[in-house]
Chains A and B, each alone.
Chain A
Amino acid sequence: MARRLDPVELLATSSVGKAIARSSVGRSVATRMGVPPADELRRGITRPVGKIALTEMGESDLVGATLSLLDIDPVLPIIDTPSARMPGENGRSVPPVYESRLGALVIDLSGLRSFSGTELLRGVLRPAMKGLERSGRVIFVAREPESYTDLEPRILAQGLDGLNRTVAKELRGGATSNLIWVKESTTPQALASTLKFLLEGRSAYVDGQSWRVGEAEVPLEAVRSTHPYHGRIVAVTGAARGIGAAIAHTFARDGAIVVCIDMPTSGESLAKVANEIHGTALQLDITVADAGERIAAHVAGRYGEDARLYGIVHNAGITRDRMLANLDEKAWAAVIEVNLMAQLRINEALLDGRPGGLADGGSIVGISSTSGIAGNKGQANYALTKAAIVGLVRAQAPVLGERGITINAVGPGFIETDMTNAIPYLQRVVFSRSNSLSQGGKPVDVAETIAYLADPASAAVSGQVVRVCGQALVGQ
């Protein structure tokens, strides 16, 4: 069946429509034609209201034990089987339904080895699709494909990726579905931060994604901490506004001392952010050769010679959008310099053991983008750098892992910021609704995902790229 196009979208994709769309009249007409209101997503440190059901198709009790660490007492799911159905009108049989809305369905697939076993998967999913509450969750936990030597379990594990993405597309009401791949050696403590994140409103705009949780020693206190960053110093570049400001605020909420970094010309809003969260402001152009040294000097100077950064979030980035046919060397170089080279130089300086540098056991988070993952017209330079960030985290994860440092990235989709607000109205509506949640994300959605990735309790998550895009129609 074709995807339902709303009238606004039709209007905006025709050439006449585009012309109208730029006019104020068009905007008013479009508003009156009625864009269906998007579902208000559950956000923040909030768990589902309804019960959390656990389906164990596992060899171990990894997921059950993890939920127990999170003080969650799961219920059994309702399973659709021919015998469980009731006769309904028109002689059709009706599958069993949940009596009250289900908060989340967590499925432990670590023991699923054959396609014949997937019938149970269908059986638990069918009632859940209509039984989930608003902003409910489906979470698959499976072994990573590479952990199997036999063919069938291995391709089955890969097949789950397609199933997860489809479930995410079919769910309504702001509910999401995500898939976590684990290793045989992954412990409940290592998995806990990820399950907690996915269940909570913090993951509101993460949908249809899959990523991996490996192994790491994670102390119980880290899992249970309400202020995981207490006493830790985190630097955020591009912190003066938009997503960067949200990142700074989120880390501060979770206890971090935040060093807010932005261009000297953005100093006024930077100071405001830093003061709001009782952090410090560092006016710095990250492209200067000694930017890393200056960040470290600020940390050592302001917080003491023994102070070290726990984490750095490379949020600063620019676009210089031109079709390749019009792209000159300046626009090309500027984007590469800010989005990539500056980050590489800063990491190198912070990792060389200097006072105020990055501590062992710390974390680095970069920002990729849907444009980098899927490509985007007019963003050749930007896409190059944003895909390179994916390469960076994959390449560096094993190297930094030796020092207990994690490196990850987020891939924001359409996030509502001052920058995206500058896009003409109808185009903006189309862009923002071209995803499974039919809405744009908020800066805080990106911030929450970054804070999860950098969390000391997420020590087993490294080399991952988590998209925060509401399952955008483009890209993986």
Chain B
Amino acid sequence: MTDRTAVVVGGNRIPFARAHTAYRRATNVDMLTAAIDGLAARYGLAGHRVGEVVGGAVLKHSRDFNLTREAVLGSSLDAHTPACDVQQACATGLEATIYIANKIRLGQIDDGIAGGADSVSDAPMAVSDGLRRALITANAAKTLPARLKALSAIRPADLVPDPPGITEPRTGLSMGEHQALTTTRWGITRQAQDELALASHLNLARAWADGFFDDLVTPYLGVTKDQGVRADSTLEKLGALKPVFGRGEGATMTAGNSTGFFDGASVAYLADADYATEHHLPALARVVDVEVAASDYTLGGEDLLLAPTYAIARLLARQGLSWQDFDYYEIHEAFAATVLSTLQALGDETYCRERLGLDSALGEIDRSKLNVNGSSLAAGHPFAATGGRIVPTLAKLLHQRGTVDGRPARGLVSICAAGGQGAVAILEAC
């Protein structure tokens, strides 16, 4: 049992669309179903009972408590395929991948699908606590007077709907505002952020033009390509945008170097290595190890979005690897500044000693190995769908690369998430 290997067979996603555009009428269930169906078509899984499907959404309607199972039932997979929902903010897709990989390695399943969907266009809108309590009390009341009394408690202010939260409940700050603090703390310049954003667009545009996504993406509702990617982006255009987060000197974060709101869904297909061979499924990369971490950003004064640095430090130690031992780095671009401050923190002696408990800094990496086919700034970031975008992309890159200096090509995925969390995984080419 212990020698079982979980491999990434491939993946599928729908092109990511700007919120309130092409997918505005699509639900999370619709989009996740489409992502699963495109995967099924690619690998001939129609009618096949998959070991388990796991996925989730960040902006999730309460009626979608069985989001993933509903998507499975609406897909061409065998209806006997079980499913489970997970939710870990923007790390949902990667956490789902970890769940499936672990079950495969434990011998509990032979194959599984991990993914997620998110729609800003179809976001749930809650009623206020006042209205909700009144309605629940009225519903429970046994007599008409009691019911009327309960309803009479409703005040005009209670009728204002409660949109999904975009702020951290414990700090009252939005994610952008948190990152702005981090950006200032680490002295990340506007120029550096814009350069990273530009690279993301140009890399993603090149990958699309090369047909890299031909076997990773299936069009949906007439959208055939990620809507966010701008092949004609330039530093001048990015430099002309007004800052949206931060104040004064620290106001460096713009709509160009921060991710916008997107709708989309993605899935990764994983299998036991032997199972993949027996069933003529390609093995692109194996899941070597994973680590999830959190930062104490409330009372501890740590950075909300630098939790992955803790995960990276622990993972490298466990695997006996150095920060420079990777051929590809896939660091989720929540904001350009997130990636840059992560890299800066890992190269900082004080941070690595005091926060990560290391003897010295992890050092610098070769930036040409970072997000080589673009990332969230260009592709867009439908929260729970980002893990399922990155994992198959990295697996394909590693498989294409094959070996480096006689060892399998190695890559790292890092995704930061709300709540001061971060998930990291190491993959190696098959």
Contacts and interface: CB of A to CB of B under 8 A. Distances in A.
A49 B172 CA distance: 79
Interface string B194-221: 0000000000000000010111011111
B280 A302 contact: yes
B211 A268 contact: no
A268 B218 contact: yes
A275 B46 contact: yes
A268 B46 contact: no
B43 interface: yes
B44 A267 contact: no
Interface string B26-51: 00000000100110111110110000
Given A280-B42, A283-B218, A275 B37 contact: yes
A302 B43 contact: yes
B47 A271 contact: no
B44 A271 contact: no
B224 A265 contact: yes
B408 interface: no
Interface residues of B, number: 24
Contacts of A307: 280
A272 B219 CA distance: 11
A212 B215 CA distance: 42
Given A264-B224, A288-B211, A279 B218 contact: no
A267 B223 CA distance: 10
B126 to A, nearest CB: 33
A266 B214 CA distance: 11
Contact of B43 (A276, A280, A288): A280
Contacts of A279: 41, 44, 46
Contacts of A400: none
A159 interface: no
A281 B38 CA distance: 8
A434 to B, nearest CB: 34
A270 interface: yes
Contact of A264 (B37, B41, B214, B282): B214
Contacts of A405: none
Interface string A282-312: 0111001000000000000111100100000
A303 B278 CA distance: 10
B76 interface: yes
Nearest to A271: B41
A274 B219 CA distance: 14
B23 to A, nearest CB: 13
A265 to B, nearest CB: 4
A302 B48 CA distance: 15
> Max chain A CB contacts within 10 Å: which of B41, B43, B44, B218?
B41
Interface in A85-130: none
Interface string A37-70: 0000000000000000000000000000000000
Contact of B46 (A264, A278, A288, A303): A278
B37 A271 contact: yes
- Majority SS at the chain A contact face: helix
Contacts of A278: 44, 46-47
Nearest to A258: B44
Contacts of A267: 38, 217-219, 224
Contacts of A302: 43-44, 280-281
B282 A271 contact: no
Contacts of A285: 211
Nearest to A304: B280
Contacts of B37: 271-272, 275
B281 to A, nearest CB: 8
A274 B41 contact: yes
A268 B219 contact: yes
Contact of B41 (A265, A270, A288): A270
B24 to A, nearest CB: 17
Contact of A275 (B41, B214, B219): B41
A279 B282 CA distance: 17
Nearest to B48: A278
A419 B248 CA distance: 59
Given A283-B218, A288-B211, A303-B280, A268 B34 contact: yes
B104 to A, nearest CB: 20
A274 B220 CA distance: 15
> Max chain A CB contacts within 10 Å: which of B38, B40, B76, B213?
B38
Contacts of B224: 264-265, 267
A296 to B, nearest CB: 14
A457 to B, nearest CB: 27
Contacts of B44: 274, 278-280, 302
B219 A264 contact: yes
A303 B282 CA distance: 10
B211 A281 contact: no
B41 A281 contact: yes
A464 to B, nearest CB: 32
A264 B209 CA distance: 12
A376 B45 CA distance: 44
Contacts of A275: 37, 40-41, 46, 76
A99 B46 CA distance: 51
A278 B224 CA distance: 23
A264 B211 contact: yes
Contacts of A276: 46, 76
Interface in A212-270: 260, 264-268, 270
Nearest to A288: B211
Contact of B215 (A274, A283, A303): A283
Interface string A344-379: 000000000000000000000000000000000000
Nearest to A299: B280
Contacts of B34: 268
A304 B44 CA distance: 13
A283 B214 contact: yes
Contacts of A268: 34, 38, 218-221
Nearest to B222: A268
A275 to B, nearest CB: 4
A288 B281 CA distance: 24
B19 to A, nearest CB: 20
B404 to A, nearest CB: 23
B41 A301 contact: no
A85 B234 CA distance: 91
Contacts of A283: 214-215, 218
Contacts of A281: 38, 41-42, 218
Interface string B338-377: 0000000000000000000000000000000000000000
A301 B44 CA distance: 12
B127 to A, nearest CB: 36
Contacts of A260: 41
Contacts of B40: 271, 275
Contacts of B42: 271, 280-281
A432 to B, nearest CB: 29
Nearest to B224: A265
Nearest to B225: A265
Contact of B280 (A265, A272, A301): A301
Contacts of B211: 264, 285, 288
A264 to B, nearest CB: 5
Given A267-B217, A274-B41, A279-B46, 6 more contacts: A266-B219, A268-B219, A271-B41, A275-B41, A278-B47, A279-B41
22 contacts: A264-B214, A264-B224, A267-B218, A267-B219, A268-B34, A268-B38, A268-B219, A268-B220, A271-B38, A271-B40, A271-B218, A274-B44, A275-B37, A275-B46, A278-B46, A279-B44, A280-B41, A281-B38, A283-B214, A285-B211, A288-B211, A304-B280
Interface of A: 260, 264-268, 270-272, 274-276, 278-281, 283-285, 288, 301-304, 307
The 6 closest A-B pairs by CB, nearest first: A271-B41, A281-B41, A275-B76, A274-B41, A275-B46, A267-B218
